[in-house]
Amino acid sequence: MRAIEVNDVWYRYPNQKEYALKGINFEVEEGEKVAIIGANGAGKSTLLLHFNGILKPERGEIKIMGDSDVRWMRSKVGLVFQNPDDQLFCPTVFEDVAFGPLNMGLPEEEVVKRVENALKAVGLSEDGGVKWSERAPHHLSYGERQRVAIATVLSMGVDILVLDEPTSNLDPKMREDLMELLLTFPYTVVVATHDIEFAAEVCERIVVMDKGEIVEEGVAERILSDMELLRSVGLRAPTIVRIFEELGIDEKPVRFHDGVETLKRLKQIRINQRGGDPTT
Amino acid sequence: MSIESENMKRSMSEGNANNLIHRLDPRAKLLSLMGLVVAVVLSDPPSVIPQFNPSTFFPYLFVILLLLSLATISKISLITLLKRSMVVIPFSIVVALFLPFFGNGDVVVDLVFGSLALSSHGINTFVGVVVKSYVCVMCIILLTMTTPFPSIIKALGWLRVPETYLQVLSFLYRYMFILMEEVTNMKRARDSRNPNKARRIWYIRTAGLIAGTLFIRAYERGERVYSAMVSRGYEGRMPSLGRMRMGMKDWIFMCMFITVSAYILV
């Protein structure tokens, strides 16, 4: 089943002449992890707001799991905003995570259970003695707030997780933690980002946007190794791809560990060619 | 994180300790302390002039002692409570500054041939306003230091305070620290581009620019927060969870305050 279907979507912000989205067409299959990449102002965030019915297309249609009803869309798509301080507006973590389920009219016991499970899913389990749910969001670190922001939508029992620039403002450790977290998620994930390395590690398919249009889409290995394409939309290829380019190697793995493995393999081939002596 | 907002966070989170006063139902604390505030406001002002009567100060001293003993039970620093309550004094002095000139009663000092004079009733009212405001603010500070802010909001909701007002209050608490941080960052950015010590007028002018920018940023943040709320099913009502229960301790606490309030009024 298709998780997201975007058919010829056009959108223009009020009092603007220029369209922010120009005839967008694409689909996301259930369980797929897709990155929408592009420079600032490419229209990535505008497109994400359509998945949740916050913005409505001027022309065209968006279907979430086969339906375009706004309530349905909101119950299926969990939108995590770029800045967790925009997402977390309640005085305590518990109230924030419970906000969605309560609005869905769920009974109290179910809400409490969902809050516990959602916090556990993002690694903020209360088993360790830390009462995460009682803490105020502004007392948490940025990385913890980011996790709580994800928990606020997981508690709604969504099927599709949509994240807008999730790695902005995260330090390398927090970024890595978030990456691991998303890789373990059994959900359909759509990430809008210009963090190419992050997109390469987490997503199997890449959609490239520029000036409100989709200019290319395909598997991560093909798109992210196309340096010319990325340069033309104001982005840079992952560091590992650029290293391979500099070394004049035809193969261009896009993920760090794949790159390391390739280098090890090439080294072994060279050793074998020289008679098995690694010092020569 | 700015030092100011860190200090504020620390001071507002003192209500997390686990002791008798902190554990009381927030509604009991709110009703008791608000009742005491009303009693203090409605009580007769102390008498300073024409004859100083110390017994008219006793009810206020009694309330202060009661609040200090509650603070001791709550393990709150008495000096912090007393000092923090002092914040209101300059404001109450400014507000009540002209009262001594408008009261009836005996003329104590004739400043301009009978047309401008300090009256005994006016001076007593002035002293009353300053003392009462100090005691009332002390009550409120004790409440905020012994009760987590979300619980106060919940108690106010139970008292049928309009939901819109409570939502605004709740957002104020949530975003105050973020806005304070933004102001600190903007001030730092301003000062970092001011190698020569500028004149006071420059600071005043840039303070206006900072205030304007803060307003725009707060407005835009408001839009984003609203989008986040709508995306999670917000339809104009903040849902709440959990019921509050009044126990025997809460009723005893309230009865004690009703007695004290009645004593002050009588």
Q: How confident is the model at residue B19 (pLDDT cuts 50, 70, 90)?
A: confident
Q: Which of A89, A158, A168 should we substitute to test contact with B (largest number of B Cβ atoms within 10 Å)? A: A89
Q: What's the pLDDT at B13? A: 47
Q: What pLDDT score was predicted for residue B3?
A: 47
- For residues A258 and A205, membership in a common domain is answered with no
Looking at residue B1, its pLDDT comes to 47
Q: For chain A, first and last CA: distance in Å? A: 55
Q: Are residues A71 and A153 in the same domain?
A: yes
pLDDT digits (tens, 9 = 90+) for B113-135: 667 778 888 888 899 999 999 99
Taking contacts as CB-CB distances below 8 angstroms, the residues of chain B near A156 are 232-233
Q: For B116, phi and psi rounded to 5 degrees?
A: -135, 110
Same domain membership, residue A180 and residue A49: yes
B170 and A100 within 8 Å at the Cβ level: the answer is no
> pLDDT value at position A1?
79
What are the domain boundaries of chain B?
Answer: 18-159+245-265, 163-231
The number of folded domains in chain A is 2
Q: Where are the alpha helices (DSSP H) in B98-247?
A: 99-102, 120-146, 149-158, 163-192, 200-231
Peptide bond into A166 cis (omega under 30): no
Residues of A with a Cβ under 8 Å from any B Cβ are 49, 52-54, 74-75, 79, 81, 83, 85-92, 94-95, 98-100, 102-104, 108, 111-112, 136-139, 152-153, 156
Looking at the structure, do residues A278 and A228 belong to the same domain, yes or no? no
Give the pLDDT band of residue B97 (cuts 50, 70, 90): confident
Weakest mean pLDDT among A29-38, B194-203, B224-233:
B194-203
Distance CA B63, CA B70 (A): 11
For the stretch B140-157, pLDDT in tens is 999 989 988 888 988 998
Q: Which residue of A has its CA nearest to B218?
A: A86
Q: Which domain holds residue A156?
A: 2-237
Q: Is the pLDDT of residue B2 over 60?
A: no
Residue B196 confidence (pLDDT): 66
Q: Is the pLDDT of residue B242 over 90?
A: no
Mark which of A217, A237, A257 sits at the end of a domain.
Answer: A237
CATH number of the domain at A90, please: 3.40.50.300
- For A91, which of B174, B225, B235 is closest by C-beta distance? B174
Q: For every one of its 280 residues, what pLDDT tens digit does chain A have, with 9 covering 90 and above?
A: 799 999 999 999 988 899 999 999 999 999 999 999 999 889 999 999 999 888 999 999 999 999 999 888 988 999 999 888 888 888 889 988 999 888 888 898 999 999 999 998 888 877 666 788 888 888 888 888 989 999 999 999 899 999 999 888 788 888 888 888 888 888 899 999 989 999 999 999 999 999 999 999 999 999 999 999 999 999 999 999 999 999 888 888 999 899 999 989 988 988 888 776 666 5
Report the DSSP pairing between strands A2-11 and A59-64. antiparallel
Task: Return the closest-CA partner of residue A143 out of A115, A124, A117, A120.
Answer: A124
Q: How far is CA B75 from the centre of its chain?
A: 20
Query: Which whole number is the average pLDDT over B166-194?
Result: 84
- pLDDT of residue B9 exceeding 70: no
pLDDT for position A61? 94
Q: A72 and A206: one domain? A: yes
Q: Do A99 and A132 have their domain in common?
A: yes
Q: Which residues from A are below 8 Å from B240, CB to CB?
A: 95, 102
A139–B13 C-beta distance less than 8 A: yes
- Please tell me chain A's helix, strand, coil percentages from 3-state DSSP, rounded to the nearest 5: 45, 20, 35
Contact in structure between A78 and A161 (CB atoms under 8 Å): yes
Same domain, A196 and A263: no
* B24-A116-A186 Cα angle (round to 5): 165
Same domain as A156, residue A92: yes
d(CA A119, CA A122): 5
A86 and A9 share one domain: yes
pLDDT in the model for residue B195: 66
Tell me, yes or no, whether A138 and A67 share the same domain: yes
Bridge partner list, B112: B116
pLDDT band at B15 (very low <50, low <70, confident <90, very high): very low
Give ipTM to 2 decimals: 0.73
- Cα B146 to chain centroid distance, Å, stands at 14
Percent of chain B with pLDDT over 90: 28
Give me the sheet containing A205-210, strands edge to edge. A77-80, A160-164, A188-193, A33-37, A205-210, A213-219
Mark whether A22 and A98 lie in a shared domain.
Answer: yes
Indicate if A157 and A265 belong to the same structural domain.
Answer: no
Query: Residue A140: how many CB atoms within 10 A of its CB?
Result: 18
